[in-house]
Amino acid sequence: MSSKTVNTLSLGTDSIGSLLMRYATPAIISMASSSLYHIIDSIFVGHGVGGAAIAGMAITMPIMNIASAFGAMVGVGAAARMSIRLGEGNMAAAEKTLGNAVMLNLILGAIIMTVMLTFLDPILHLFSGGRASEQTIGYAREFMQIIMVGNIFQHMYLGLNEQIRASGYPRKSMYVILTAVAINLVLNPLFIFEFGWGIKGSAAATVISQFIAFLITFAHFCSPSSFIRFRRQAFTLDGKIVWAILSIGLAPFMVNICASMVAAFVNGALLKFGGTGEWDVVRTAGSGDLYVGAYGIVNRVVLLLIMVIQGLNQGMQPIVGYNYGAKNYVRVRKALFMTIACGVTIATLGFLLGQFIPESIARLFVDNGKGMDEQMMVDAATQGLRLVVALFPLVGFQIVAGAFFQYIGRAKLAIFMSMTRQLIFLLPLLWILPRSLGAVGVWVSMPIADCASIVLATIFLVRELRRMRRLQ
């Protein structure tokens, strides 16, 4: 019996706790490391350039999310299809999927790069609602001009890394991400402080680190020792394979697009209404840019916590999927409840940090000794972080529940839950509350939408657990 078969059988026999730790640990490290990219960029830019540069990076965030959405669509879709083909023992079809994914990433990366660089200024003004200062737009322009040049390498690196994980090398996938983060960590201060390149230096550090990571992943699939390798004939696009990849990857694509829409709405609301509310901590004229920078800080902290929980979910996926297919619903429920407990614990830690040391966290990103603007941004981020994480312990439950439905084959329900939170609950609140509450209206919109999503997730999860009990 092969080692792969033994490992698969262990999903139905080994302790749930040990399995979750075994599968979740590399995934958590990978997901957290990916999030650290943005945090590292923001910290060095905030201290080396200033708060206005962080505001500029916050403007670029939804645009970069859209570009990443296309990469995620190909990467996740191809990884899922490859896993299926490997399970069937069809190596040729798995390698054909790999080749088609490479070609799709090349094409989409080139198209996105061309469109973004050609229409960069109109796009930046669109996503800032036409209200950002020229200084903020200038920083955003400098950052995106370099990031978009390296967009193809980002698509290729992230897509190929998904294939490395799907073809049986999860630890190598993790090491590739850690390598990219380490290179970025070294180059960022070198380019910003030593070379004096400012925000352009941060963008260059990101592109170079991703290019090196791309070379590593490319070399992996060129190696004769690799389980799956590049084959020349596999690079011809096949309509059926392309459709399968894109249809499977549609779920993460839609989630990322919705997240971009939300980020754009938040930026627009803060630029228009930031500082106008009675309870806003900064109420000076033209403080919208400050609040956008504060949102950039809050969003990166929250995203790191969410990514850790998502890594936990990835560890749950093979355990739940295998036992659900084997109709072993007792182990499915045990894995679910254990993952929920871990997710709530992580989210509670984030809640405590956000409530008790939010100012210290904000000061990691901005040197408040640079001037009054930086101190005001710290104050705004402190207030925002406290309010945004107000219901975070329960958000940990909601994130795990949403992923659970996807892993048992209820992808449409998982997409519905995610899009409902962002489109049905959050966007109307972002439209209504800031008009009377200013920036506080933006901050409180998020926990209110979380509350509605938690109720929805609880209803669906209770129904599913009752259904599994009846089946058992």
123-174 per-position pLDDT tens digit: 999 888 778 889 999 999 999 999 999 989 988 888 888 888 777 787 888 8
Q: Give the up-direction half-sphere exposure of residue 444: CA atoms within 13 A in the CB hemisphere.
A: 13
Among 5-19, 111-125, 407-421, name the one with the lowest average pLDDT: 5-19
Say whether pLDDT at 324 is over 50.
Answer: yes
Please report the pLDDT score of residue 305 as a whole number: 93
Helix (H) or strand (E) holding 410: none
* Residues 453, 460: Cα–Cα separation, whole Å: 11
The predicted structure's pLDDT at residue 456: 94
CA distance readout (Å), 370 to 4, 52, 163, 195 = 56, 11, 45, 20
The predicted pLDDT at position 254 comes to 81
Q: Per-residue pLDDT averaged across 86-93, rounded?
A: 79
Mean pLDDT of 338-364: 95
Confidence (pLDDT) at 306: 92
With a cut of 70, say whether residue 6 has pLDDT above it: no
Q: Chain-wide mean pLDDT for the chain? A: 88
* 93-129 residue pLDDT tens: 888 999 999 999 999 999 999 999 999 999 999 888 7
Highest mean pLDDT among 4-13, 89-98, 381-390: 381-390
Give residue 451's pLDDT: 95
User: Which token pair is 321?
Assistant: 């999927």
pLDDT at 371 over 70: no
Quote the radius of gyration of the chain (alpha carbons, Å): 22
Q: How confident is the model at residue 370 (pLDDT cuts 50, 70, 90)?
A: low
Of 60-64, 160-164, 170-174, 248-252, least confident by mean pLDDT is 248-252
pLDDT of 9 reads 53
What is the spatial distance between Cα 72 and Cα 266, in angstroms, rounded to a whole number? 23
What are the pLDDT digits (tens) for 441-464? 999 999 999 999 999 999 999 999
DSSP-based three-state secondary structure for 328: coil
Q: pLDDT digits over 25-59, tens only? A: 888 887 888 788 788 888 999 889 988 899 999 99
Find out whether 447 and 390 touch, Cβ atoms under 8 Å: yes
Taking the C-alpha atoms of residue 295 and residue 290, their distance in angstroms, rounded to an integer, is 9
Give the HSE-up count for residue 316: Cα atoms under 13 Å, Cβ half-sphere. 29
- 374, pLDDT greater than 80: yes
- In which residue are the tokens 């995610």 written? 418
* Average pLDDT score over residue span 326-333: 88
Query: Which position has the higher pLDDT, 12 or 390?
Result: 390
Q: Are residues 396 and 344 in contact, defined by beta-carbon separation less than 8 angstroms?
A: yes
| pLDDT at residue 368 greater than cutoff 60 | no
Question: What's the DSSP call for residue 274?
Answer: T
Helix or strand holding residue 278 (H, E): none
Closest to 20 in 3D by CA, of 392, 319, 254: 319
How much is the pTM? 0.86
Q: Is the pLDDT of residue 203 over 90?
A: yes
The whole-number pLDDT of residue 2 equals: 43
Q: Per-residue pLDDT for 419 more than 90?
A: no
Flag the least confident range among 67-71, 143-147, 206-210.
67-71
What's the token pair of residue 115?
């469109």
- Say yes or no to pLDDT of 438 above 70: yes
User: HEC string of 282-320?
Assistant: CCCCCCHHHHHHHHHHHHHHHHHHHHHHHHHHHHHHHHH
pLDDT in tens, 392-408: 999 999 999 988 887 78
Residue 1: is its pLDDT beyond 70?
A: no
